[in-house]
Amino acid sequence: MINKNQYDETKPLDMHDLQFDIAAQRLDIEGWILEKIKYPRREFSVRFPLRLDNGDIVQLAGYRVQHNTLRGPGKGGIRYHPRVDLDEVRALAAWMTWKCAVVNIPFGGAKGGVTCDPSQMTSNELENLTRRYVFEISPLIGPEQDIPAPDVNTSPQVMSWIVDTYSVLKGYTCNSVVTGKPVCIGGSLGRLKATSMGCLYTMLEAAKVLGLDLQDKSVAVQGFGNVGYYAAELFIAAGMKLVAISNSKGGVYNPRGLDLTALKEHYDHGGRLGGFAAAEEITNTELLELDCDILVPAALENQITRDNAERIRARFVVEGANGPTSPFADDILYDKGIMVLPDILANAGGVTVSYFEWVQNLQKLFWSEDDVNRQLAKIIGQAFSEVYRIHQAEKVNMRTAAYMLALGRVAEAKQVRGIFP
């Protein structure tokens, strides 16, 4: 039996380990294989100086963790955030391993980050930070080793700087070193909205098996960045009603529905969601606890815990972020009849289209956006069916079902590859 009291709900790595252990105890996998696939294969910590525009020099810490490469090169984003530390990156890298395995693409899991506050940095400082960080981790990354991508507070522009820096170091243009870059240097059509599109496709698949009509169903989205904004846009386009959305400073709510275009114009003009005339201001806590049909946490991890899970009233939680719901909260939500569509399934659209981008780069043959979205829908649909089948057969929540599928695939890869030497 698992002693859940030994896991700290505030720590992403503890929450990953608990999720892993819950699924592992239901599988017939040899102990040495479980030990191998649970922990990171390789960790890299760097410290480097950055000269600010005012002439000051600061020391920054950065990380790159390759959790598992049994099924292919490491794959995972780079985030810039004040809270980044090695344990968080370890958890994020592990989640990437399981995400890639759930959708059955030939990648392992990796993740990177720099501890900094990009909101206080100029574009020039961010460029210099990125180039120096890439120089430091360059021995670990590459199109056949480990392929970074955007994450929290990084963007296609940041990926462009990585391509340029890595190409200079190699002496030739190597745009396949990252995904999520601009189309003009080898990025894929459809990549910008891919994570959000995966959330939508997962919700559509759930509605299909449950016989649910999604027209006019109410949606609340936590997060106004790339994933949250486009999730809101796509859910509206699919006929649902956006009633609330927020960023780190709070959000807005209108039970009759929000005009996302007008809200974006308001935000771009004033730099805040609050003050929008057609809505009332709410906190992030209030948004999570709204009476709505679909809740999409698309910001950071550790948002739904045992402290607030009893107050969640949505019928579905579609995880656009990585690790937003703790295993303690999973149990509470499952008992309440709330279906959680877990991160390693629901937000796998981003890494799936990253895989498409990588393939296009290697083949020098590019796809239309319709082709990208059609293939994404096919892969998400297949993954959902496999997870849902385990969910029903084993009578476990969708997260445990997804982990059982993922662990089984990675364990099989280790079993057939064996031990070297």
Our answer to whether residue 378 is catalytic in this structure is: no
| Annotated catalytic residue within 38, 75, 99, 111 | 111
Give the integer Cα–Cα distance in Å for 113 and 84.
6
Contact 240, 218 (CB under 8 A): yes
DSSP track, 76-96 = EEEEEETT--HHHHHHHHHHH
Please give the Cα distance from 60 to 117 (Å, whole number).
11
Q: How far apart are CA 214 and CA 11, in angstroms?
A: 35
Positive or negative CA dihedral for 78, 39, 399, 345?
Answer: positive
Residues 159 and 178 sit within 8 Å (Cβ to Cβ): yes
Host H or E run for residue 388: helix 369-394
Tokens of 69: 């490469």
Any idea how long the chain is?
A: 421
Burial 117-148 (b: 16+ CB within 10 A, else e): ebeebeeebbbbbbbbbbebbeebbbbeebbb
Beta strand 57-68 with 108-115 is antiparallel
- Give the torsion through C-alpha atoms of 144, 168, 93, 338, to 10 deg: -100
- Residues 326, 327, 329, 334, Cα dihedral to 10°: 140
Which of 327, 330, 258 has the alpha carbon at shortest distance from 287?
258
Q: Which residues are catalytic?
A: 111
